[in-house]
Structure 1
Amino acid sequence: MGNEIEWFAEITPELRKWTGGKGGMLARMLQAGYPIPNGFIVFPQAFQGEKLKEKTWKEMIRYLEKLRKDYPNVSFAVRSSALSEDSALASFAGEFESVLEVQTNEDVLKALYVVHHSQYSERVRAYSAVKGFEEAHQMAIVVQIMVPSEISGVLFTADPITGNRSVMSGNFVFGLGEQLVSGKGNARVFSLFKPSGRYKGPKELLPYIKKLYWYASRLEKAMGEPQDIEWAIANGQLFFLQARPVTTLSPGNMDTFEWNDSLSGDFLWTNTNVGESISDVVTPLSWSIIRALDEEHNVIPGHYLMSGNICGRVYSNVSVPLSVFFAFGWNKKSILKK
């Protein structure tokens, strides 16, 4: 390929294979008119082994000077965008390093190496093993304008705990978003209800909530699945800093907005016995424990689980044991009668 650096606005579909999940999504959103802080992407090929190529660094200096000219007194955010990052299978959220409020060229170069080397950290290796990825990651890097956030937040366009698609749930803090993701800040909770956009939460967010809901709804529709969005308010303006698929969401019906495991797969479900011991709707905590135990004892992780959640009630997947019995030649009619 030619350039090893490219502006968000110039990323073509052919180049997306080198942008990583975060960089590729930022480029797509900027090109589609979302409020994205401007920047560029350094492709994995810019590094020769562990060292940034000299010609690439010289080219990058020109990119930095262009941003300084267009945005006086700017500082930069240098962020990871591994090719395996922010996918529907695994987000790698918080696993790789980011360096914020970088100003001089020398500090940008140092930040590039910090981010690039973070792919070898123990936490990345552990997360990769859990998710079934190889330990080696190809690392693209995002360099973009640092937003001096007055308010920073996250917004899930579907509730990740209950699986409810009719509710967007979010948190925000005053100041930079690092306080939110690190847990150091006192996060405030808010909700947005579809399809009206009705808001429930602190009044400080009211001036921006219509625009936040509009962009978030538009993005979810464009991507065809619920999104995990990082956003910020600076100088009275809304910015989207990142968006990725929600990787922990349960199966659901986009028309009825219900958690319903029976919508995925062709299985026979029953609550004949389990309904006697768990007769009421389960809480999110109880369901998370049931699902964790089920996955722990499952032969193929994530597939053919014995338990299911249908509109908040626990059901058993009868198809799993029946398939075993049928495989050993048991008579279908006699088993079903029993």
Structure 2
Amino acid sequence: MTDLRHFIWFNEPDCQSVEIAGGKGASLASMVGQSLPVPNGFVVPSDVMEACVDADKLRALARAKDFKGAMKLVEDTAQVHDTVLEAYDTLGGLVAVRSSASAEDSEAASYAGQQETYLNVSGREAVRQHIIDCWASFFSERAIFYRELKGSLDDLRMAVVVQQMVDAEKAGVTFSVHPVTRRKDRMLIEAVFGLGEQVVSGEVTPDHYVVDRKGRKKKEDTPHGGVLTDDDLVKLTNLAVQLQKHYGVPQDIEWAIREGNVFLLQSRPVTTL
């Protein structure tokens, strides 16, 4: 257990491993490796939770689909190492604490929404608690149901991302290929004022922009009066082109804009194509 690493920064090579950092963490690290604009952060590696709980008992509860028992075991016994909280001190301020399962966000299946994400988290105690909450969410009724269909109930690999929050003025998602029409010469960009979780969760109807691969508008529907400028659309399109080229497949990209600067928060394969 002395070899166990309790956190890995995005810019470390190991962080690009899905096995270690989960789908979300590895994607962020890969973007950092391409010098793309990603807010700083680190990952609690996927083997840490298993090392700090009774893993055999936890697997037995998961196999029995006793989601309440499994979540309680994690909540009552999991420990977050002090070095993780020291790493948080280095970031400082508000962070997002996000689940990052090792099986998620593959081309075959997107696990988006199966585990928890916590935004605007501040202070050591809140970070510690939300890391444990992310681990516990891996055993929610919905997560266990989905994992039985798409993965393995024996799998305890759950990494957690801790990342600086962007105080977004506007945010949203970009699909580097139109997910409905499937036209490869068109992208769909959805945007709202404020945090992008409103788009991801479906809380509000975002502004919709269909653009070509140069960022030129072909169609728009703007219930919010036009969240994005033409310059924003060009920046977002250029990043989407770069990300699709980097990963080799169409991407579903979450982003935020602050003072005209685009920050990338996540990129995963579009699974609907």
Determine the structure 1 residue equivalent to 2:144.
125
TM superposition shift of 1:159: 1.4
User: In the alignment, which of 131, 135, 146 is matched to residue 112 of structure 1?
Assistant: 131
Aligned residues of 1:46 and 1:52 also touching (Cα < 8 A): no
1:119 and 1:80 mapped to 2: Cα distance? 8
Determine the structure 1 residue equivalent to 2:90.
66
TM superposition shift of 1:171: 1.1
Matches within 5 A, 1:218-237: 218-237=242-261
TM superposition shift of 1:15: 4.7
Instruction: Report SS of the residue matched to 1:165.
Output: coil
Instruction: Report SS of the residue matched to 1:238.
Output: strand
Moved over 4 A (4+): 13-16
TM superposition shift of 1:160: 1.5
Determine the structure 2 residue equivalent to 1:80.
99
The structure that has the greater radius of gyration is 1
1:14 and 1:77 mapped to 2: Cα distance? 19
Determine the structure 2 residue equivalent to 1:141.
160
After superposition, the Cα gap between the structure-2 partners of 1:111 and 1:228, relative to the gap in structure 1 and judged at 3 Å, is same
TM superposition shift of 1:85: 0.9
Determine the structure 2 residue equivalent to 1:42.
44
Quote the RMSD (CA, aligned, Å): 1.8
TM superposition shift of 1:19: 0.6
Aligned residues of 1:82 and 1:138 also touching (Cα < 8 A): yes
**Counterpart amino acid of 1:187?**
P
Aligned residues of 1:84 and 1:137 also touching (Cα < 8 A): no
For structure 1, which segment, 204-213 or 5-14, has the greater mean C-alpha deviation from structure 2 after superposition? 5-14
1:15 and 1:21 mapped to 2: Cα distance? 8
Percent identical: 38
Determine the structure 1 residue equivalent to 2:215.
197
What do residues 243-266 of structure 1 show as CA deviations (whole Å, max 9, x unaligned)? 0011110xxxxxxxxxxxxxxxxx
Instruction: Report SS of the residue matched to 1:162.
Output: coil
TM superposition shift of 1:13: 7.0
TM superposition shift of 1:2: 4.6
Instruction: Report SS of the residue matched to 1:205.
Output: coil
List runs of 5+ in structure 2 lacking aligned partners: 54-73
1:241 and 2:265 aligned: yes
Aligned residues of 1:83 and 1:137 also touching (Cα < 8 A): no
Instruction: Report SS of the residue matched to 2:36.
Output: coil
TM superposition shift of 1:141: 0.3
Determine the structure 1 residue equivalent to 2:195.
176
Instruction: Report SS of the residue matched to 2:172.
Output: strand
Determine the structure 1 residue equivalent to 2:233.
209
Residue correspondences, number: 240
TM superposition shift of 1:64: 1.3
After superposition, the Cα gap between the structure-2 partners of 1:126 and 1:172, relative to the gap in structure 1 and judged at 3 Å, is same
